[in-house]
A and B are shown apart, each in its own frame.
Chain A
């Protein structure tokens, strides 16, 4: 990443509430026009980080620079950020157009310009015909669009979404994810989404920051995050996986040999012999049958779940270990419950993580 392209630079940001550390020395650099998701469970600090960027929860230490300006000491109204809240926080005493015009009015923009900008923002979110409506007369999806139009209308340097889609029902949410991404790319907005929904993160973002206990565990493109999780937490939080505990018995060239209840497995990772590790792989890497030079394990099928384009097979591999395999719809042979099966998967797609991080 070139330094010139850095648009939002967060460095060394920490925040404590009493005895609890909510953010611990967070560094994050976002390019202009980039869509980044802060993904993590509740309490991981993602919303606090968003509020720190907006100026609603100033950090205890660290700096926040946006569009070349140091914002760390600036109050929210001088930051030029746009926030879409989970509850939308639309002003109930104003009409739809009044809400969208609010940010421009308080900036003292001339009336003709305001009218033009409001019309443009409302047509972007396809609500051009509802400008005169009261907020209480709108559906949830429409309110979401008004909140977005209100934030976009002031042309902020960064748009912040705080679980902005989570109040919508699932179908509407999935539609909005795709539409919102297209719209943000169209207006070339830089945006940060806060969510605990991995599908939303993978759909909406150029890069995803997985957060845990006030830290960013991994910052990567969605594909990379899924294929090369940097920690057990990132592996668990995004996508499904097969995980088997074991002990390292040998290591060389970034690969380890691990003894597990299902046999000896080889995985990517750097550990000393004797270390307790979790060996993991993604379910779609598992193939029925054996393969030369690959990891393999066998067991009895516990359940088979048909999900349309894929079938999930859960296998009891003995000694408390289980395998989760995803077979694509094209697979000729799908095992049945109680079948004895053997699965193999590539060594290159097998990872070892320190076991103590599992807590």
Chain B
């Protein structure tokens, strides 16, 4: 801390030759990124504007954005993303503070419960939820055995099941970025604010929240892009009743053999994710 305080940032102009040399070093990785990420996206964009005979057309986009059913599907995806992100945030923010305050064995235990599920595949976790939520599943069996209910409650294939499962599965991606920021937060900031006359609520709103914003934005961007594009989770936990962009993309490619329409849906999904990430970057920019 001391050294960082003492050394004022010094900016010197970088000579062109150094720039060129630096570019030489990053060129190979740029090439790989271009091949692995940019090329497929370009192909996706291309396919989305081609008709069956290879002509250029906007038909796929008109069908997607002009049909009430498909607009509903887009809304379903957005709604899923917004709900899951909001709920995950409300749980994760206090959890990240608890995690940062915890010491020793308790902290290791809490971190392990967050990290371990990341090692299991999404499919495994989604199936685990179906086992818990089925009519003859664990939750219903226990509730009936305890005499709390007489007949099994319908839980699987409901929106509640979808949201609960998705929040659970994507939670670590919200907690960890926030925790990373909270753990670095110097407690002196809150103390300084308090001695300057700020009540605990004002300290939170004016100091803690702005200082943890980078973690919140990272978590929100991650969880939103994961949940808006989730395929396995809605397929297994709610199925046909709640079609999303991800499920109609799969259908377009696998069942209907309409790659153009699938690609167009993919581009729309991508656009939504890009807008969210761009907004996050904009929000997290340092004040001038």
Query: Which residue of chain A is the closest to B189 with respect to CB atoms?
Result: A89
The distance in angstroms between the C-alpha atoms of A277 and B208, with both chains bound, is: 56
A103:B197 contact, CB within 8 angstroms:
yes
Knowing A140-B6, A167-B5 are in contact, say whether A83-B195 is a contact too (CB < 8 A): yes
Query: Which of B191, B195, B197, B203 has most A Cβ within 10 Å?
Result: B195
How near does chain B come to A234, taking the closest CB pair, in angstroms? 29
Interface check B199, CB cutoff 8 A: yes
A88:B194 contact, CB within 8 angstroms:
no
A77:B192 contact, CB within 8 angstroms:
no
A107:B194 contact, CB within 8 angstroms:
no
B211:A77 contact, CB within 8 angstroms:
no
Query: Which residue of chain B is the closest to A81 with respect to CB atoms?
Result: B195
Contacts of B82 in A (CB 8 A): none
How near does chain B come to A352, taking the closest CB pair, in angstroms? 42
Interface check B66, CB cutoff 8 A: no
Knowing A136-B9, A139-B8 are in contact, say whether A102-B287 is a contact too (CB < 8 A): no
What class of interface size applies to chain B in its complex with A? 20 to 34
The distance in angstroms between the C-alpha atoms of A172 and B199, with both chains bound, is: 35
The distance in angstroms between the C-alpha atoms of A89 and B203, with both chains bound, is: 13
How near does chain B come to A285, taking the closest CB pair, in angstroms? 39
Interface check B188, CB cutoff 8 A: yes
A137:B9 contact, CB within 8 angstroms:
yes
Knowing A77-B199, A93-B211, A95-B287 are in contact, say whether A138-B8 is a contact too (CB < 8 A): yes
Interface check B193, CB cutoff 8 A: yes
Q: Mark A74-118, 1 if CB is under 8 A from B, else 0.
A: 011111111101011111111100000011001100000000000
Contacts of A55 in B (CB 8 A): 194-195
Interface check A190, CB cutoff 8 A: no
Query: Which residue of chain B is the closest to A76 with respect to CB atoms?
Result: B194
Interface check B196, CB cutoff 8 A: yes
The distance in angstroms between the C-alpha atoms of A83 and B194, with both chains bound, is: 10
B189 in complex: contacting residue of A75, A91, A154, CB < 8 Å: A91
Query: Which of B192, B193, B207 has most A Cβ within 10 Å?
Result: B192
Query: Which residue of chain A is the closest to B207 with respect to CB atoms?
Result: A91
Interface check A169, CB cutoff 8 A: yes
Query: Which residue of chain A is the closest to B288 with respect to CB atoms?
Result: A134
Interface check B40, CB cutoff 8 A: no
Interface check A183, CB cutoff 8 A: no
Q: Mark B170-211, 1 if CB is under 8 A from A, else 0.
A: 000000000000000010110111111111101100110011
The distance in angstroms between the C-alpha atoms of A54 and B197, with both chains bound, is: 11
Knowing A91-B207, A93-B287 are in contact, say whether A85-B8 is a contact too (CB < 8 A): no
Contacts of B202 in A (CB 8 A): 77, 106
Contacts of B198 in A (CB 8 A): 77, 102-103, 106
A82:B195 contact, CB within 8 angstroms:
yes
Contacts of A215 in B (CB 8 A): none
The distance in angstroms between the C-alpha atoms of A167 and B5, with both chains bound, is: 8
Q: Mark A212-230, 1 if CB is under 8 A from B, else 0.
A: 0000000000000000000
Contacts of A140 in B (CB 8 A): 5-6, 8
Interface check B2, CB cutoff 8 A: yes
Interface check B16, CB cutoff 8 A: no
Contacts of A78 in B (CB 8 A): 197
B286 in complex: contacting residue of A91, A107, A134, A167, CB < 8 Å: A134
A103:B188 contact, CB within 8 angstroms:
no
Query: Which residue of chain B is the closest to A133 with respect to CB atoms?
Result: B288
Contacts of B191 in A (CB 8 A): 54, 56, 76, 83, 85, 89
Interface check A150, CB cutoff 8 A: yes
The distance in angstroms between the C-alpha atoms of A92 and B199, with both chains bound, is: 20
B192:A85 contact, CB within 8 angstroms:
yes
Knowing A87-B188, A95-B287 are in contact, say whether A139-B197 is a contact too (CB < 8 A): no
Contacts of B275 in A (CB 8 A): none
Interface check B1, CB cutoff 8 A: yes
A77:B5 contact, CB within 8 angstroms:
no
How near does chain A come to B35, taking the closest CB pair, in angstroms? 38
The distance in angstroms between the C-alpha atoms of A134 and B8, with both chains bound, is: 12
Q: Which 6 A-B pairs have the closest CB atoms?
A: A103-B196, A89-B188, A89-B192, A139-B8, A76-B194, A140-B6
Can you list 9 residue pairs at the A/B interface with Cβ under 8 Å? A56-B195, A77-B202, A85-B188, A87-B188, A102-B196, A106-B199, A134-B288, A140-B8, A151-B196
Interface residues of B, Cβ cutoff 8 Å to A: 1-2, 5-6, 8-9, 186, 188-189, 191-200, 202-203, 206-207, 210-211, 213, 286-288
10 further A-B pairs in the complex, CB-CB below 8 A; given A85-B188, A89-B188, A106-B199: A56-B191, A77-B199, A81-B195, A87-B1, A87-B2, A102-B198, A103-B198, A106-B206, A138-B8, A154-B197
